Amino acid sequence: MEHQMDIHPHHHDWCQLVFSTSGAVRVGTDESTFIVPPSRAVWIPAGITHAVTAIEQAELRTLYLLPSLLEESIWSGCRVLEVAPLLRELVLQLAIELDERIEARREALLTELVLDELKRAKPLSLGIALPRDARLRKLCQAMLEAPERQHGLEAWAAEAGASARTVSRLFREELGTSFAQWRSQVLLAHALTLAARARPMAHIAAELGYANASAFSAMVRRTVGMPPSRFFASA
């Protein structure tokens, strides 16, 4: 499907691999949100409630699998996976051939190769934890929707109907981090989607509300201990 999608929270009895061949998407669960560019995919186990939103116009691809096909415990939680060129082409080819009534033997061969590629796919730590407290969750969702808003803790807390002190405490208790650290993770996740499209550093900085590329670079260095060019290459 190709549009500005907004798939509301739902769950099903099969596992799902979701990624976009163009455009970034955000996949949200009760506990985390994942912001991924086209070269990444989100693995969603069976029974997990999730929603999918296109950050920009995107062409979504989904792969559904029975839970019994991947019995290892590592598949029991959501995770971000690197989409190798072969895995990407296999998913695209399956979609075409299933529409054309693929023969059973060929479907079995393609499926076996997809499963092998999935097991080889590199996991990536790109999830952003979400809180359960309603006030803090409202604040976090607002920051995810508008990462370019360079508001301080006091301004965000006021919008959520809580004091800055309360919000600061909730971040520590529910997410084990500070407001500034969590916000930096959100900014880095959005920056990765822009970098994946070869956007220049100045453009990424402007998109995220920074006055200049130097200020953005300083945030990246402070957060991950390396310059943006190195961070984007490693991520």
Provide the CATH number for the domain around residue 86.
2.60.120.280
Q: Which of 62, 95, 127 is the last residue of a domain?
A: 127
Q: What is the pLDDT of residues 92-143, one digit of tens each?
A: 888 787 666 778 888 888 889 999 999 899 887 778 889 999 889 989 999 9
In angstroms, the CA 216 to CA 231 distance is 13
Q: Which of 127, 147, 166 is the last residue of a domain?
A: 127
What's the pTM?
0.72
Residue for token pair 């559904």: 64
Can you give the residue range of the structural domain that contains 78?
2-127
Mean pLDDT value across the chain: 85
Do 211 and 149 fall into the same domain? yes
For the chain, the domain total comes to 2
Q: Which of 127, 161, 193 is the last residue of a domain?
A: 127
Mean pLDDT calculated for residue range 86-95:
88
Q: Cβ–Cβ contacts within 10 Å for residue 117, how many?
A: 19
In angstroms, the CA 81 to CA 32 distance is 15
Helix then strand then coil, in percent of the chain rounded to 5, is 50, 20, 30
**Confidence at residue 173, expressed as pLDDT on a 0 to 100 scale:** 94
What are the two backbone dihedrals, phi and then psi, of residue 56, each rounded to the nearest 5 degrees?
Answer: -145, 175
The domain that holds 224 is classified in CATH as 1.10.10.60
Do 110 and 21 fall into the same domain? yes
In angstroms, the CA 99 to CA 2 distance is 17
Do 49 and 84 fall into the same domain? yes
Q: Using alpha carbons, list the distances in angstroms from residue 45 to 20, 48, 122, 199.
A: 18, 6, 17, 33
pLDDT more than 70, % of the chain: 94
Q: Which run of H or E residues covers position 28?
A: strand 25-29
pLDDT bracket for residue 26 (50, 70, 90): confident
Is there a contact between 76 and 45 (Cβ–Cβ < 8 Å)? yes
Q: What is the pLDDT of residues 183-199, one digit of tens each?
A: 988 998 888 888 877 78
Do 169 and 222 fall into the same domain? yes
Please give the torsion angle defined by the CA atoms of residues 167, 170, 176 and 177, in that order, rounded to the nearest 10 degrees.
0
